[in-house]
Amino acid sequence: MPFYASQQARLTAADFDPETIVGQAMIKAAPWDSIIDFATHPSFCGIDLYPRQRTLLRLAYLETEQMTDYDRDVIEEWRGGFSARDAIGVQPDIWDRVKYLQDNGYRRFPHIQAVMGRRAWKGLFGAVLGTEQIAYFFSLDNWQAHYGIIEDKDGYLSVVATTQAQAKRHQFRDIASMVEHCTYLQGHIASSKDYELAVRTPGDMRRLARLQSAGITPEHEIASLRAIALSTISDVVRGAAGFANFYDEAAHFIQTGSSKSGEEIYEAGQPALDQFGKDALTYLPSSPFSKIGFFFRLYEEGSVLMRSGERITRDDIDVEAGLEEQIADPEMLIIQLPSWGAYLDWERGSELVGTRFPRPIQWPPQGDRPENQRMARLRLKNPDKFRVEREGQFAPVIGAYLDADKVDDLFKPLTWRPPLVAQRYGKFALSYRAHCDPGRTGANFALCIGHTEIAPCDHCATPPKEQTSGPCLLCKIGTYWPHVIIDLLHVWKPQDFPIDPETGKATIDYVMVQNDLENVLSRFMSTSKMSFDQWNSAGMIAALRAKFSPGIRVGEVTFTEKENQIRWERLKSAINLGWVTSYEDHFYDDGTSLLRQELLFLSEKNTPTGPKVIKQDFGPVTTKDLADSFAVVTTDLLHQSLDRWTQDQLTAHAVGSTYIAGLKSGSELERAAQLGVYKGGHRAAGRRAQEQMDDYLLARRRGRQHERRYSPGVARPLGRPERRFWPS
């Protein structure tokens, strides 16, 4: 529904009756009796609600008078369940909160946090909240006058998600569909696009009529209630009047290089709601994640009890210093439910709400039905994942394997070399190392290509005269070390391929990948070696060998668990020493770097056979194929230098004796680095390098163009990147 100025102009010409509209202006009360009336009655949304969904809505809208005995029983159950180890329900002091809000003239909880398992009704709950908010503002006739805001200002309901694509697909779409479905509002929708919806109020109609009688045909759409989908990267609409903020899957808001953290997004977005005071709406629906980030912080804040001012005590919440001084916020409603929580008692539908439901949308793992047993099997397969994604419980914080600052440094431009970008062609003078990680069925297929260059002296920062490592002849103290430069990162994702008609799933077409790899190798003819992880790659190796051997060695590499662990230790050392630099790829959400995210989300787990570096099973980043390829290339290229560096440190500074195991694993490197024997690798090597870095940072602050040149990976537009980026 695009906007046409002439169409808008005809609106008032056709059947415009100023009398009716003035008449409507007198009616200030919303025409629905209750939130259940609004959600279920055909004059409004006309949707079906399961018994517990009604309970939740009545609670959110403080409609205690409408509550049935059933509602009160369920709320009592929820109240009791919140302090249990597996928290389910609402804050135990919910009745105090309700009373406070009722006494102070609120019509709804202004701040609602839904911590729910997958498909637990949080999207539709949000759609009812959002649609009711738009309808309520519509019912005010001229909401600007009601709140004392200048008349031509638009009001916004913003749906923020990690990507605009996600915002559009999920919470925003739920709201837009509900508004389109709402009999009360549908005739007043001025435009409906996939990322924005506009509703024209009676006040807007009068404004339009006034403009037209003055002989003006407005060239912009006059419709002052708007819902928009935003990504965490886009700037919040500043200075706008926001009547509702939705933060979709807020527990998964993570900082991705150029984007802001969840905390920043929330802090920037909330002031827009100030003008609407008690009537503003904040909704944070999310399946939980680790106990980190602003979503968990708000959850903790919302758990501070009103009467005592103490936070609820539960042995799985770590009480942080300072939090006990938190003041209880009665405006906050927390509802925490497993995936099936909003559908319980579905079989009592006729008795409780006069509707017979054929089935619930989600089943609990308890019970004898095949659906129950399916859930029970899911739980058995991966209890930790099930706990978070289905049972709606926060996961304990798992220690990150790599230091976040060091990972950031990995992507910073070098002082002694032009900034890195993805290379389309290899240079014949350089020798490249490539590794492919063909993921298992349904996983990504990753490629990494890199080479080494000799960095300036690690003591006096003099650039090398030739491309060989060794002692610095100028200062006679430092050494020239090789530095890994990443030339190409690529990820093939199943979702970028067409759906296989036989399995009904999107799968990577290995023939296409093989063609792409042939294409890449023919552009990087001076590659010395391309290796593959053992999984599923025999055919591809044979084909590439036939074409490129013996010039390029193509082969499979097999790693034992122990070798894998040693590789991660070496990679960690290389990163901590600042011996490797990469450009930012664009394979994560909204074109940000997947390598960065995979590295940040690596964690270490203790197993019977020793520590193991693992990826996450749930949450925003659940792959590590690109990090694997990157680790193989980097550690293979630096293998000898890392050993030699360790040896140098050991002999020169007697940091350890002949600690062979530590030396092999690389942990000795870190120890040496920590002891200050070696500070930060090439990057911090002496004053000159520091000055160059300062110059760079200053230049970066001065010129935007400069900046753009230096951050190639970040400047990509929204949306899925093209599958192939090298034209054939």
Q: Which residues bind Zn ion (CB under 5 A)?
A: 457, 459-460, 472, 474-475, 478
Give me the residue label for tokens 């944070």: 284
Considering only CA atoms, which of 257, 289, 258 is closest in space to residue 616?
Answer: 289
Q: Measured from the CB of residue 476, what is the shortest distance to Zn ion in angstroms? A: 7
Starting at the earlier edge strand, list the strands of the sheet with 241-247: 89-90, 332-337, 111-116, 281-286, 241-247, 155-161, 225-231, 196-199, 189-192
Based on CB atoms, which residue is closest to Zn ion, 346 or 645? 645
User: How many residues appear in the chain?
Assistant: 728
Q: Which residues contact 550 (CB under 8 A, 6 or more apart)?
A: none
Neighbour-count burial for 417-431, b at 16+ CB within 10 Å, e otherwise: eeebebbeebeeebe
> Residues 552, 521: contact at Cβ < 8 Å?
yes
Based on CB atoms, which residue is closest to Zn ion, 88 or 457? 457
Q: Which two tokens stand for residue 596?
A: 């960065």
- For the chain, the 3-state helix, strand and coil shares in percent, each to the nearest 5, are 45, 15, 40
Q: Which two tokens stand for residue 422?
A: 């993805």
Q: How far apart are CA 132 and CA 179, in angstroms?
A: 9
Based on CB atoms, which residue is closest to Zn ion, 459 or 529? 459
Q: Measured from the CB of residue 645, what is the shortest distance to Zn ion in angstroms? A: 15
Based on CB atoms, which residue is closest to Zn ion, 178 or 472? 472
Helix 667-674, helix 625-653: angle, nearest 10:
60
Q: How far apart are CA 432 and CA 399, in angstroms?
A: 34
Neighbour-count burial for 682-717, b at 16+ CB within 10 Å, e otherwise: bbbbbebbeeebeebeeeeeeeeeeeeebbbbbeee
Based on CB atoms, which residue is closest to Zn ion, 257 or 471? 471
Q: Measured from the CB of residue 484, what is the shortest distance to Zn ion in angstroms? A: 21
> Residues 374, 339: contact at Cβ < 8 Å?
no
Neighbour-count burial for 35-68, b at 16+ CB within 10 Å, e otherwise: bbebbbbeebbebebbbbbbbbbbbbbbbeebbe
Q: Measured from the CB of residue 653, what is the shortest distance to Zn ion in angstroms? A: 18
Q: Which residues contact 423 (CB under 8 A, 6 or more apart)?
A: 449, 487, 488
Based on CB atoms, which residue is closest to Zn ion, 410 or 457? 457
Q: Measured from the CB of residue 456, what is the shortest distance to Zn ion in angstroms? A: 8
Based on CB atoms, which residue is closest to Zn ion, 229 or 689? 689
Q: Which residues contact 723 (CB under 8 A, 6 or more apart)?
A: 492, 496
Q: Measured from the CB of residue 683, what is the shortest distance to Zn ion in angstroms? A: 15
Based on CB atoms, which residue is closest to Zn ion, 163 or 462? 462
Q: Measured from the CB of residue 686, what is the shortest distance to Zn ion in angstroms? A: 8
Q: Measured from the CB of residue 464, what is the shortest distance to Zn ion in angstroms? A: 10
Q: Measured from the CB of residue 324, what is the shortest distance to Zn ion in angstroms? A: 54
Q: Measured from the CB of residue 457, what is the shortest distance to Zn ion in angstroms? A: 3
Based on CB atoms, which residue is closest to Zn ion, 474 or 542? 474
Q: Measured from the CB of residue 479, what is the shortest distance to Zn ion in angstroms? A: 8
Based on CB atoms, which residue is closest to Zn ion, 11 or 475? 475
Q: Measured from the CB of residue 621, what is the shortest distance to Zn ion in angstroms? A: 40
Based on CB atoms, which residue is closest to Zn ion, 1 or 474? 474
Give me the residue label for tokens 């770590």: 318
Q: How far apart are CA 529 and CA 545, in angstroms?
A: 11
Based on CB atoms, which residue is closest to Zn ion, 462 or 592? 462
Based on CB atoms, which residue is closest to Zn ion, 268 or 460? 460
DSSP state of 440: S
Q: Phi-psi bin for 696: left (phi > 0), alpha (psi -120 to 50), beta?
A: alpha
Q: Measured from the CB of residue 459, what is the shortest distance to Zn ion in angstroms? A: 5
Q: How far apart are CA 413 and CA 196, in angstroms?
A: 38
